[in-house]
Amino acid sequence: MKFKSKFYIIVSLLLLVLLLAACGNDENEDAGQNDDTSAEQNDNGEESAEKTDRTLTDAMGNEVTIPAEPKRVIASYLEDYLVALGITPVAQWSVSNGTQDYLQESLKDVPTIPYDLPLEAVASFKPDLLIMDSAAMVEGNKYDQYSRIAPTYVVGTAQNNDWRDELLEIGKVFGEEEKAEQVLADYDEKAADAKEQIQEAIGDDSAAAIWLVSNTFYVVSESLSSGDVLYGDLGLTAPNVVKEISESSEANWSEISLEKLAELDADHIFLINSDKGNGSEMLQDDIWQNIPAVKNGNIYEYEADSSWLYTGPIANTQMIDDILSDLVK
């Protein structure tokens, strides 16, 4: 009898242990199911938190509710940054004579919208997020009007915002801060390497970017657009005329008179020729022909559909490739 009693006790204990274990497994499965409702798996099979709407304060102090995953974005003149971050807008910036051609490999199927974003045109695309390059784009009551169409985020307040700051800000808007930082790091590494190669190839030679359009010459600013790449990132020497004009102008490109052009002592010139195919008669002028770079054959010509008239990680990267090809033999 004692043996039977012990036997029954042991069997009962084993059953109790198995029952507790089964309950524990059920709880774990329930917890796992609950976790699935607040997490999703990424491509590597790892769990990551679901994206939710976020409220950010833009450059003008507006509190903007950013959709969890914007699908229909319009960001006039900021398409370079979107493409660099792997984002395709629902419409792309355009003017009467074209688009940003250098981006068309990525945006060839994206419809166009006028650069100044007419309200009816914007509304027709049913955007879920609008990103504005500067406060000037929403002056007056435009911000309120755009905001009635979709959440509207202003990236910067200056006429010309630093492109690095814009990249990081747009990365923040989309929750892609790490990707934006990586794009910037890759660019800086490329620029540093190119700077060394160019220094070895031409030393302290000076260079200028000149834009010819409608028989008028324009020179790039020392610190804006392609000037930022030439002088800031690559360390090329700016001619005195470029420095002088840049001090008195806030524009990316400033008209340069023939009198000043005669003083341009650049050793190398990157010519963006919008008059190509129309004769480019100004290039036959004696003043142009007597510039040191022209006399020595150090002219590197590009058409207006190149990236030289634009700014952003993709445009600037393409410019560096062009400059390396021209200067490093």
HSE-up of residue 48 (Cα within 13 Å, Cβ side): 8
315 has pLDDT over 70: yes
Instruction: Report yes or no: 194 and 200 within 8 Å, Cβ to Cβ.
Output: no
Q: What is the pLDDT of residue 16?
A: 47
Report domain extents, the chain: 54-175, 192-327
pLDDT interval class at 37 (50, 70, 90) = very low
| Average pLDDT over every residue of 185-196 | 98
Within 10 angstroms of residue 137's Cβ, the number of other Cβ atoms is 20
15 has pLDDT over 50: no
Topology match between the domains 54-175 and 192-327: yes
269 has pLDDT over 70: yes
Q: What is the pLDDT of residue 6?
A: 45
- The per-residue pLDDT for range 84-139, each reduced to its tens digit, is 999 999 999 998 767 899 999 999 999 999 999 999 999 999 999 999 999 999 99
Q: What is the pLDDT of residue 43?
A: 53
User: Residue 10: is it exposed, middle or buried by C-beta count within 10 angstroms (0-12/13-18/19+)?
Assistant: exposed
| Average pLDDT over every residue of 199-228 | 96
User: Residue 220: is it exposed, middle or buried by C-beta count within 10 angstroms (0-12/13-18/19+)?
Assistant: buried
Phi-psi domain of 201 (left: phi exceeds 0; alpha: psi -120 through 50; beta: other):
alpha
Token reading at 233: 């990132």
- The per-residue pLDDT for range 292-302, each reduced to its tens digit, is 999 999 999 99
Q: What superfamily would CATH give domain 54-175?
A: Nitrogenase molybdenum iron protein domain (3.40.50.1980)
CA 180 to chain centre: 9
Residue 233 is classified by DSSP as I
206 has pLDDT over 80: yes
Measured between alpha carbons, how far is 292 from 269 in angstroms, rounded to an integer? Answer: 9
Measured between alpha carbons, how far is 123 from 318 in angstroms, rounded to an integer? Answer: 33
Q: What is the pLDDT of residue 45?
A: 53
| Average pLDDT over every residue of 236-251 | 95
Fold assignment, 192-327 = Rossmann fold (3.40.50)
| Average pLDDT over every residue of 13-34 | 47
